[in-house]
């Protein structure tokens, strides 16, 4: 099973660090460090949302103009 671990140093929270739990040949529970978890880049997600809204707005303006020209 994989779980996340956070560490607090000097009042700052570090992590998440991924660990895998397993049993060795004697039945004892061991943990293996898998590495630091990758977090999504919030700036890319935000820019994607803004770009989507801009595209939707511009498309609606083109449709409104087209309908206005027809009628």
Give the pLDDT confidence of 2-28 residue by residue, as tens digits. Answer: 888 999 999 999 988 999 999 999 999
> Can you read off the two tokens belonging to residue 30?
């061991």
Paired tokens of 22: 């397993």
- The answer to whether 57 and 50 are in contact (CB under 8 A) is no
Q: What pLDDT band is residue 40 in, cutting at 50, 70 and 90?
A: low
Structural element, H or E, at residue 68 = helix 42-70
Q: What is the rounded CA–CA span in Å between residue 65 and residue 53?
A: 18
Mean pLDDT of the chain: 89
Residues in the chain: 71
């Amino acid at each position: 099973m994989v779980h996340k671990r956070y560490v607090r140093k000097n009042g700052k929270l570090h992590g998440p660090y991924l660990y895998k739990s397993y049993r060795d040949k004697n039945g004892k529970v061991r943990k293996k460090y898998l590495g630091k978890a990758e977090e999504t880049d919030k700036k890319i997600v935000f820019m994607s949302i803004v770009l989507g809204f801009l595209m939707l707005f511009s498309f609606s303006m083109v449709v409104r103009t087209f309908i206005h020209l027809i009628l």
